[in-house]
Structure 1
Amino acid sequence: MSRTRLVIMMEIAIMAAIAVILSKVKLFAMPQGGSVSLVMVPIALLAFRRGWVAGVITGGLVGMVKFFFGGEMVHPIQMVLDYPLSYAVLGFGAFLYASKTQSKATKIVSIWGGLLVGIALCLAIRTTSGAVWFGSYAPEGTPATLYSFSYNATYLIPEYVITALVVTLLANGAPQLFQQNAGAYRRT
């Protein structure tokens, strides 16, 4: 195993652990699951630093650990959607993050745009899961899909804004965290 690959694997493990810890510090919690926290910051940071594959692996790992430490499963497919998959897709935001040659404004736009892609995918997955497995919570006369979308958007949109602000501050204040070193998991 190469030294670079080992370093990337260690970064994935460390960022996943930090994300799980940050998920426990909730700024706002929904009554039937979901919360606003900084869980997405380490996933996004690693995705922008090492590429989308490392981001997807980190997110999937975070989702699995969150499930093992208090997740709810009503069906195996629901568990896969709500935990590893919904966190893994956050890593896809790195597709929009280009090279270190970007201007400061372009980097900020690519951070916000990349995180928006990840959050949109996460929202789509959680909306699907909620509509199929938790649609019974919808008020009388409200379509399950609309209720699930509204419920999940209530906490995912604020989490997106907070995550984008924190990652933008980190990109401006500590750009070395975003150095895109070549590595086994970096795909461009």
Structure 2
Amino acid sequence: MFKNTRMLAEAGIMVGLALALWYFNAGQLPQGGSISLQMLPLLVFALRWGAGPGIVVGMAYGFLHSLQDMFVLHPLQYLLDYPIAFGLIGLAGLVKNLRVNRVVSILLAIAILVSGVIIFHYTMVSTAEVKTQITQLEQQLLVASPDEKPELEEELQDLKSKAQFFPVGGYVVLASSVIAFLAICYGSWKRTYATPVELGALLGGAGRFLSHFLSGYVFFSQYAPEGMNPWVYSLVVNFLVVAPSTLLALVIILIIWRPLEKAANVNSD
């Protein structure tokens, strides 16, 4: 009974804290979304209480967060971008009682690093294609009629914005994969506690990313520049939001987890 009461109390505190932390964000990114520490309380709760409670609390937060920052094109898109996306952060709780071999952790870290390099490469290739489209569009503008120019100018402005945005996204993907690699290696070799929190945080972040990624591909692929694979577009746009938020939370969790665990054990005695 005490544990259930305590869990409910922590759930309320963590949801409230996540709602508050969202306001301290890095501002809206050009393609939507923002970088903040809103994931931190949700990850901590899931790591402490497990995947089931973590998913429920994440979904509750997703519904409430939608009242803070709602953008809806379709009911399914709403579910994917809010309750499901934040509910899947609770997957971090799957590692609560997990014991992971160091070799497995290192192999996972290498896979993440290699994936980041591959995504970075495709992002740079796509950026080059966008720049080619910009050149072609500028040439079309020179011979366009007055009626055609407004539409072409709007398209050109959009492409220029994406030409600036995607290289940044590519470097964020690369940097995030390197940081994730280092965090997993550090966690697996230097960890002084049983729970592999670094894997849990990345798993929760991956769950949120997957939901946003599917939403982006299904409902926002029309915003991808001509010639760019919508999968790549959705991947880069959503990775740029989720990866920094996840890694910020991960770094803080690696710092606070040991004292947090000690405090929780003392209070439970």
Give the TM-score of the pair, scaled to structure 2.
0.61
Alpha-carbon distance, 1:34 to partner: 1.4
Cα drift, residue 156 of structure 1:
1.4
Following superposition, the deviation at residue 149 of structure 1 comes to 0.5
Match of 1:167 in 2: 253
Higher alpha-carbon Rg? 2
Structure 1 position 28, deviation (Å)? 4.9
Q: CA deviation at 1:97?
A: 2.9
Alignment CA distance shift 1:108-1:71 (3 Å): farther
Consecutive aligned runs of 4 or more in structure 1 exceeding 3 Å deviation:
106-109, 176-179
Do the aligned partners of residues 17 and 165 (structure 1) sit closer, same or farther apart at CA in structure 2, a change above 3 Å counting?
same
Q: Is the 8 A contact 1:123 1:156 kept in 2?
A: yes
The CA deviation string for residues 57-103 of structure 1, in whole angstroms up to 9 with x for no partner, is 1211111111122311110010000001101111111211337xxx9
Task: Name the one with the larger helix percent.
Answer: 2
Does 1:52 pair with 2:51?
yes
Residues 178 and 119 (structure 1), Cα distance of their counterparts in 2 relative to 1, 3 Å cut: farther
User: What residue is the counterpart of 2:238 in the other structure?
Assistant: 152
- Contact kept? 2:48, 2:96, Cα under 8 Å: no
2:224 to 138, 148, 173: 138
Separation (CA, whole Å) in 1 of partners of 2:52 and 2:264: 15
Change (3 A) 1:107 1:4: closer
**What is the letter of the counterpart of residue 229 of structure 2?**
P
Write the distance in 1 (CA, Å) between the matches of 2:258 and 2:6: 24
Could you tell me how far apart the structure 1 residues matched to 2:24 and 2:74 are? 27
Give the match for residue 27 of structure 1: 26
Unpaired runs of 5+ residues, structure 1, are 183-188
Question: Distance between the aligned counterparts of 2:33 and 2:196, measured in 1?
Answer: 26
Tell which deviates more after alignment, 75-84 or 45-54: 45-54
Give % identity: 27
- Whole-Å separation in 2 of the counterparts to 1:178 and 1:125: 32
Change beyond 3 A, Cα 1:108–1:3:
closer
CA deviations on 1:99-153 (whole Å, 9 max, x unpaired) are 7xxx961648711111111111211111110011111111111121110001111
* Cα-Cα RMSD: 2.6
**1:91 counterpart residue number:** 90
Rounded Cα–Cα distance in structure 2 between residues aligned with 1:63 and 1:169? 26
Deviation at 1:6, TM superposition (A): 2.6
Whether the 8 Å contact between 2:43 and 2:204 is mirrored in structure 1 is no
Shift of 1:175: 2.5
Distance 2:221 2:66 in 1: 21
Letter of the 2:10 counterpart = E
CA distance in 2, matches of 1:144, 1:44: 29
TM-score norm. by structure 1 comes to 0.85
**Structure 2 vs 1, CA of residues 48 and 109 (structure 1 numbering), >3 Å: closer, same or farther?**
closer
Runs of at least 5 residues in structure 2 that lack an aligned partner in the other structure: 99-188
